[in-house]
Structure formats: C-alpha cells, structure tokens
C-alpha cells in the first residue's frame, strides 16, 4: 500500500511538473495561466477544426526557423480564406511564450502557434501560443529510426492541385485523419505512416516530409503533389550543398522508395528520422548521410 501511494504520488508530481512547464500566451494578453479557460464554446476551431497552426522546435530557448513557420502559417490562412494578425504580432506572441519558457524549463521544447477563425457568430480570430517539453520518446527516432506502414490517400498525386477544397499543402487544425492514420500504422506494428497516392507515389508522412537519397542527390516530393511544404526539409535542401549533396524535387513510386539508398522522414520537432522498414521490408541505411543531415539542421541525437 505504501509503495502504491508512493508511485501514485510520484506520477502526480510528474504530471504537476509537466503542467508547470507548459506555457500559454494569448495574443494581446500575454502569458496566462495554462489551466485557465481559453476558448469560447462556439469557437470554430473546436466546432469544425476551422483554423491553422504551426509546431516549431525550441532549442536554447529560441524557436528554430520561426520566420519560415510564420510564412507557412500565413499561407495556410490565405488558403482557408481568413486573415491572420500581422507577422510581427505573431512573432511577438511567440517571444512572450518563449520568455516564460526560458524561465521555467530547459532542454528542447515545442512551440505551437494556433489561430482559429474565431467564434461562430463572427469576430476576430482566436490566436494563442503554447510551449511544452519534448518527451524523450518523441526524439528517439533520430537515433533508432522508423518503421513505416504505407496508407492510401485515395486520390492521384495531382488531384489536390485541381481541388483546392481538399486543402493540400495547408496545415489546418482539422487533423483527425492524420491522427487516425498514425494510430492505424501503430496498430500494424509500425511507428508511423506514409501517405501514398492512388497512382502509387510516396508523398509524405502525416506530420512529416519525405526525403530519400539517389547517388549524391537528396530528393523530396514536389509541392505540386499537394503535400505540406516542409520547413525542415526545405532548410535541409538549402543547406545540403555544404555536405556535398545535390538536391531534387520529384515523385517516387513506393517500390522504388523501398529500394532507395536511404530514406528519411523530417519534421520540426521529431527532427530527421531514418526509415528502417516500409511495410515490413528493410530499407538501406546511410548513417554518414543521416549524421550530416542532423548536423545541418542542428538536431541533437539522444544517447
């Protein structure tokens, strides 16, 4: 009984510490109590997932590629036909949250910027930011890699370009299908999923961009396929010549990806994770290139 109480107490203290580390800031209000009510019951972000967001890696107390994330967020909002506050105001909101984070926590964090269309009756958008710690298990794929299960997107690779209402390339709050396919992949014994078009092309992960190696060239999926333009992958391609690598944007069939010299999923918080298996089939590894990519993007690989 004493041991059980100790374990429960320890767990509660851990949960309390996590809540203490969570920082919340609201546009034009600044840092607020993270346990205090934030959204109205009729906020369209809750009712319909009608809004946009960005999640950004925080290292050394600073947000990595913040400007690029804010630009992508603004593009997502334009595509969804609602207006965000000016970029400078969003950057100030992020900094308010980061100042509080630096006072409370150390190590890697995840800055999330959220903007909804606002209340159903009308009015300004709801805009807020949070910063919380990145759990160790979230970054272990940098060291251990990922087993991937392919999942059909149900449309051809070029379909979303002709159907803007499918919101290809938009980071919207309506993320239920992304979470559903991730749960499905884990139920199959994989670590993550990879969206595949109906005509057989590998596209992107639910929360990540696809990269692969062809000779001395790092390749990624073109945004014309309706994928979300990855901030981390774009940065890696921009920096790749420093590692003696060329870059290309092209489509790749799943069968060819399985036979690639190496492949990765990159994302803002998880970082660069090499793919070890696709649908149970082993994928070749290039630890030297993985190390270069980690170095270029500044991701720390856990021991």
Q: What is the pLDDT of residue 106?
A: 84
Task: Render each residue's pLDDT in the chain as its tens digit; 303 residues.
Answer: 333 333 333 334 344 444 457 999 999 999 999 999 999 999 999 999 999 999 999 999 999 999 999 999 999 999 999 999 999 999 999 999 999 999 988 889 999 999 999 999 999 999 999 999 999 999 999 999 999 999 999 999 999 988 999 999 999 999 999 999 999 999 999 999 999 999 999 999 999 999 999 999 999 999 999 999 999 999 999 999 999 999 999 999 999 999 999 999 999 999 999 999 999 999 999 999 999 999 999 999 999
- Judge if 154 and 109 occupy the same domain: no
Strands 201-205 and 252-253 turn out to be: antiparallel
Q: Supply the CATH number for residue 234's domain.
A: 3.20.10.10
What span, in angstroms and rounded, lies between the C-alpha atoms of 236 and 234? Answer: 5
- Judge if 116 and 15 occupy the same domain: yes
Domain boundaries, position 155: 139-297
- Judge if 144 and 288 occupy the same domain: yes
Is the CB of residue 145 less than 8 Å from the CB of residue 266? no
- Judge if 12 and 31 occupy the same domain: yes
Q: What is the pLDDT of residue 21?
A: 77
- Judge if 115 and 171 occupy the same domain: no
Q: Supply the CATH number for residue 103's domain.
A: 3.30.470.10
- Judge if 176 and 279 occupy the same domain: yes
Question: Where a domain ends, among 134, 160, 180?
Answer: 134
Judged on CB neighbours under 10 Å (0-12, 13-18, 19+), 56 is: buried
Residue 120 inside a domain? The answer is: yes
Give the 3-state secondary structure of residue 215. coil
Q: Report the sign of the C-alpha dihedral through residues 45, 50, 51, 55, in that order.
A: positive
Q: Left, alpha or beta for 244 (phi > 0: left; psi -120 to 50: alpha)? A: left
What span, in angstroms and rounded, lies between the C-alpha atoms of 30 and 53? Answer: 18
Is the CB of residue 132 less than 8 Å from the CB of residue 140? no
- Judge if 120 and 143 occupy the same domain: no
The count of domains in the chain is 2
Residue 303 inside a domain? The answer is: no
Question: Where a domain ends, among 80, 110, 134?
Answer: 134
Q: What is the pLDDT of residue 20?
A: 53
pTM for this model (two decimals)? 0.91
Q: Rounded to the nearest 5°, which phi and psi values hold at 192?
A: -160, 170
How many beta carbons lie within 10 A of that of residue 155, not counting itself?
16
């Amino acid at each position: 009984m004493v041991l059980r109480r100790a374990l429960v107490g320890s767990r509660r203290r851990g949960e309390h510490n996590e809540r203490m580390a969570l920082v919340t800031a609201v546009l034009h209000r600044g840092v607020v109590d993270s346990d205090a009510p934030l959204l109205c019951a009729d906020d369209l972000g809750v009712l319909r997932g009608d809004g946009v967001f960005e999640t950004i890696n925080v290292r050394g107390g600073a947000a990595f590629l913040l400007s690029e994330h804010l630009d992508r967020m603004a593009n997502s909002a334009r595509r969804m036909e609602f207006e965000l506050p000016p970029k400078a105001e969003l950057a100030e909101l992020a900094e308010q949250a980061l100042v509080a984070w630096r006072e409370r926590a150390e190590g890697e964090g995840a800055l999330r910027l959220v903007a909804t269309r606002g209340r159903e009756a009308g009015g300004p958008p709801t805009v807020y930011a949070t910063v919380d710690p990145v759990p160790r298990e979230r970054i272990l794929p940098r060291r251990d890699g990922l087993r991937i299960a392919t999942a059909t997107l149900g449309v051809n690779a070029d379909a979303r370009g002709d159907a803007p209402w499918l919101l290809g390339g938009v980071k919207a709050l309506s993320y239920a299908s992304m979470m559903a396919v991730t749960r499905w992949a884990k139920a199959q014994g994989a670590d993550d999923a990879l969206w595949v078009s109906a005509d057989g092309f590998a596209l992107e992960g639910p929360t990540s961009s696809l990269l692969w190696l062809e000779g001395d060239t790092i390749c990624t999926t073109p945004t014309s396929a309706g994928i979300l333009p990855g901030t981390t992958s774009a940065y890696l391609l921009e920096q790749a010549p420093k590692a003696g690598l060329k870059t290309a944007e092209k489509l790749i069939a799943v069968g060819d990806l399985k036979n690639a010299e190496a492949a990765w999923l990159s994302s803002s918080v998880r970082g660069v994770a090499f793919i070890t298996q696709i649908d149970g089939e082993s994928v070749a590894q290039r630890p030297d290139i993985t190390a270069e990519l980690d170095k270029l993007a500044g991701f720390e690989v856990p021991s």
